[in-house]
Structure 1
């Protein structure tokens, strides 16, 4: 009998629960709230999918509501796609009877893939709206995307579905050789500022050819892509000074994700790789960002000139030079996983007014690494005939930012003159910066250069810096990396000091 009574009571409770109206929904009255009134999807290249962006929709009322329709204004023809609380609706464009509980919210995720022809020809913007409900209850959230036209360079696809290959260091990799008379792009060995370039795979420079990058050229590399300067081939980067921080006259190498989320992420593309036997490289006013290794030299044939160049956010090295002869002026490198500058297997190097900094997030890194050996090579050692640093800054977030890796049976010649250097206390005879005058002269040790904003790669200094007016006029480069005339005695590093904005 007691069991029947319990079942009776349970039935009554269930009946009352089924009659409750607070589980029923009411129609939306147009009082939804949104996390933003416009969703900007950043810049994308034509026909390249965007990142996913988020919109949050709030129901502030005490009632569960039903939104009759959530849709893109352009309907099934829209170039945007959505998911609404995990639902894909009708092709990601139209959703019917969307429930939103009282005092709750839902997420909408938005993406786009659009062609330049879809955009407004006056401003290259592609727009649409997300509509909630209709009629007098209609609410809208705008969607805006800048579509950028580009020249796309990529390996051809073979009939069997495989991609065109080129050989790099004895390995076949996805890639192609730039052509002087391509039927679509014309002369692919000359990069202009007319349109940005997007490279898939490795773009190779053929033997005895020169690839030239004119002032203002923009080159974007897809994941696992890069530039390969082959045997007897040359690279010429002809950037110039810019009047604004948009670097309008510099040549810029970076990844192909234009969204701000990707602006400082290392390792988005591979490297600029210079083959053994490549020759006659001149790099002036290049800004290179977010590679695995920025400039990777494999014993080029003759002297490389690198001037007024910035390299940031590389997963392994900013410059990796193997038995290379480099003349470097006004170079800035920061935030690199292993070493900002690594000169290995000997070579000949002369750097003046350079800022080699490394604020990588872990401590196992260097700003400068010098070595006259390389494992796996035959022979394993090679002479370092010269490594001179004049009026430079070698600094960073690690205790020791300068590293010497010597084989004592092979030449290892180096000298630092008038440099600001970060290095902890040691009894190692290789690092006696105050008493070893053969290798070190006028070293400022462990004093803060006081960069303007190192986390944003702004390594400018002002008059409060320990590097202010500490340079030797005998080594002066007349203008700094921004084209500003240096005073005498000059400041150390790549930048002439100036007052920072308040």
Structure 2
């Protein structure tokens, strides 16, 4: 009897195993879901292995599926490694024909070891993707690893699994509020030079608070990321002059892709947005690169935005886009923007002294300086331009006309250029009778203008706007508007040069 029972159990087991061997699946259709869209792996710049991070993959369909391929985007060359439900695949990099049952999930465990000889000081982040399927069914989960020891700030997941967002009118954007009592980072409203910072999504300053950046702070923004200073909040960027080429005391805002190929690519992140109602905003010794809009400054609530010793480069739209704002600025350099290096729009009050506005964007539609007294919405609305004053400035670029005054009737339009070098070619006498461009005969709006003379910048292609004594801007400034130190802290002599830099001999070619 015992033998009969044993044979019966063996038969059942054999039948079950035979059933599983004939197990039928259908190909994955690209409808997998994941516990995370991006896996962040924090690691320091050492040879130590990172912690192990978990990604869960779900099959919510009613069918058992076959995933033909799971691999890293960089294949066998990836510095990441993973296991899929305990399997190691091909060197922990490539997995073929992975079965995932209906209404089931699998675990992927991910880790990395970044050796020091695999990185360079500029390689701040190491990124890859886990790819599922391919072709039209391709799905990806991003992987991000900090190669240097840095602070990573990003939106958290809510209890319902959604990602933290910020209000933006009737919409919401991917972002989060900085926390001065964060349990991990401490005071997120104070950016120091002890570690670099990487921001994913938009970081917002809580109402009534001030975000402060100490000398030497480095902040790197991911795609579609930036910083928002809303109503009743403030920003203080407190950089100081540096003594070496390392810019050790400058504050740098840039893209998070630090490889040399991305050094001059515009539009890799969003903007620094000073919203209407933000107060007492102060920006000093900031270098900002590769944004969509460098500084977006909204509204005029009677609070002046002060900007000094600031460089803004490689923005797809504007270096500074001001809308009915109140700005006082000195020693500003802006170059290479898709629309305007500086746009003073929708009225406002503006005063710029010893600044260099250049635009070498390769389009005939771009300008270095754009000024208007209206918005450009569906129904244009005018606002008073009470002041737009430019003293000892350079307004230049690759296009024939680098100044555009765009005036609508119904609101004030007050502007003045004193001792400025301006590129403006009156091609075909198009502007001969235009009252706004009478550079030689309108002393109310123009005084001591140098027209269409080459300032002979050292190398605008690499954003070097130094001049020497052969420049048309050399010693052409008015001491009435003197800013004693130039953008890098060199003492100006009298009469001062135009623009943000005091002239000096160019280095000799080797």
Pairwise TM-score range, normalised by the shorter structure: 0.7 to 0.9
Determine the structure 2 residue equivalent to 1:477. Answer: 483
8 Å contact from structure 1 (residues 225, 271) kept in 2: yes
**C-alpha distance 388-115 of structure 1, shift in aligned 2 (>3 A):** farther
Q: How does 1:323-338 map to 2 (within 5 A)?
A: 323-338=324-339
For 2:310 and 2:168, the matched residues in 1 are separated by: 26
**C-alpha distance 345-282 of structure 1, shift in aligned 2 (>3 A):** same
For 2:286 and 2:41, the matched residues in 1 are separated by: 22
Q: How does 1:287-436 map to 2 (within 5 A)?
A: 287-301=287-301, 302-376=303-377, 380-425=381-426, 426-427=431-432, 428-436=434-442
- The answer to whether the aligner puts 1:269 opposite 2:275 as a matched pair is no
CA distances 1:114-167 after superposition (whole Å, capped 9, x unpaired): 467x659xx9999xxxxxxxxxxxxxxxxxx99311100011112443210111
For 2:435 and 2:184, the matched residues in 1 are separated by: 61
SS in 1 for 2:328: strand
After superposition, the CA RMSD in angstroms is 2.9
For 2:147 and 2:231, the matched residues in 1 are separated by: 37
For 1:306 and 1:262, the matched residues in 2 are separated by: 27
Q: How does 1:36-435 map to 2 (within 5 A)?
A: 46=42, 79=79, 90-91=91-92, 114=112, 119=116, 147-301=147-301, 302-376=303-377, 380-425=381-426, 426-427=431-432, 428-435=434-441
CA distances 1:379-437 after superposition (whole Å, capped 9, x unpaired): 80100000000000000001110011101221000000000000011312211111111
SS in 2 for 1:386: strand
For 2:442 and 2:298, the matched residues in 1 are separated by: 32
**C-alpha distance 45-444 of structure 1, shift in aligned 2 (>3 A):** farther
**C-alpha distance 45-340 of structure 1, shift in aligned 2 (>3 A):** farther
8 Å contact from structure 1 (residues 46, 114) kept in 2: no
Determine the structure 1 residue equivalent to 2:70. Answer: none
CA distances 1:435-476 after superposition (whole Å, capped 9, x unpaired): 111100100000000000000000110000000000001000
SS in 2 for 1:486: coil
Cα deviation for residue 366 of structure 1 reads 0.8
Cα deviation for residue 245 of structure 1 reads 2.1
**C-alpha distance 405-247 of structure 1, shift in aligned 2 (>3 A):** same
For 2:267 and 2:230, the matched residues in 1 are separated by: 22
For 2:476 and 2:349, the matched residues in 1 are separated by: 25
For 2:187 and 2:313, the matched residues in 1 are separated by: 30
SS in 1 for 2:358: strand
8 Å contact from structure 1 (residues 229, 278) kept in 2: yes
Cα deviation for residue 47 of structure 1 reads 5.8
Any runs of at least 4 consecutive aligned residues in structure 1 with deviations exceeding 4 A, and if so which? 44-48, 88-93, 112-116, 123-126
The number of residue pairs the alignment matches comes to: 390
**C-alpha distance 45-488 of structure 1, shift in aligned 2 (>3 A):** farther
CA distances 1:18-43 after superposition (whole Å, capped 9, x unpaired): xxxxxxxxxxxxxxxxxxxxxxxxxx
8 Å contact from structure 1 (residues 279, 300) kept in 2: no
Cα deviation for residue 229 of structure 1 reads 0.3
- The answer to whether the aligner puts 1:487 opposite 2:488 as a matched pair is no
For 1:379 and 1:366, the matched residues in 2 are separated by: 21
For 2:461 and 2:77, the matched residues in 1 are separated by: 43
Q: Which moved more, 1:154-163 or 1:221-230?
A: 154-163
For 2:92 and 2:384, the matched residues in 1 are separated by: 64
For 1:501 and 1:291, the matched residues in 2 are separated by: 30
For 1:299 and 1:494, the matched residues in 2 are separated by: 26
SS in 2 for 1:245: coil
- Which segments of 5 or more consecutive residues in structure 2 lack a partner in the other structure? 1-39, 45-75, 82-88, 95-109, 124-144
For 1:457 and 1:146, the matched residues in 2 are separated by: 28
Cα deviation for residue 113 of structure 1 reads 8.3
**C-alpha distance 125-359 of structure 1, shift in aligned 2 (>3 A):** closer
For 1:230 and 1:80, the matched residues in 2 are separated by: 39
With the length of structure 2 as denominator, give the TM-score of the two structures. Answer: 0.72
2:461 alignment partner, one of 455, 478, 481: 455
For 2:239 and 2:192, the matched residues in 1 are separated by: 11
CA distances 1:9-68 after superposition (whole Å, capped 9, x unpaired): xxxxxxxxxxxxxxxxxxxxxxxxxxxxxxxxxxx99569xxxxxxxxxxxxxxxxxxxx
SS in 2 for 1:455: helix
8 Å contact from structure 1 (residues 115, 147) kept in 2: no
8 Å contact from structure 2 (residues 328, 351) kept in 1: yes
